[in-house]
Amino acid sequence: MPLDNPADIGDIEDDVTVIKAVAGQKQLYETGDTLTTDGNEQTLYVNESPSGVFDPVCVMIDFTAQTVTETVVVKVYYRIKSGGNYILLDEDEFAATQDPDLKLIELEPNRFGIKVTIEKTAGTNRAYDWEVHYYA
């Protein structure tokens, strides 16, 4: 069927615009696990070599198991050049019980790698559930 009607062409252009917008949208993914502290700085989450600009959103950590005797430090590192070292950007200390129990740490886009660690600096080893959300 020929497209000689300008209204038909306009409709097609509108449809193409919508298709391009949807095709360009990123999808939100997640990954997570449980990590039990051992007194050392342990990798909670790492993306060593993203295949392009990596867009992590946040890491959530469940502190429900933490008691008044525990202190942990969560650190966020970024690699800012190919083959470079991880450089510390931020660290947060969580001492004693937490209110609320679920903590959210925002993450930044990165091209060369990101690492989130947790270290128990006082108290008993505890299990921490965690989840990371990212766009791909």
pLDDT tens readout for residues 72-86: 999 999 999 999 999
Yes or no: domain 27-135 corresponds to CATH 3.40.50.300: no
Residue 3 pLDDT exceeds 60? no
What's the pLDDT at 19? 60
- Quick one: pLDDT band at residue 13, thresholds 50, 70, 90? confident
**In which element (H, E) is residue 70 found?**
none
Share of the chain above pLDDT 70, in %: 82
Report how far residue 5's alpha carbon sits from residue 3's, in angstroms, rounded to the nearest whole number.
Answer: 6
58: β partners:
106, 133
* 2 pLDDT tier (thresholds 50, 70, 90): low
Q: Which of 83, 82, 67 is nearest to 125 (CA)?
A: 67
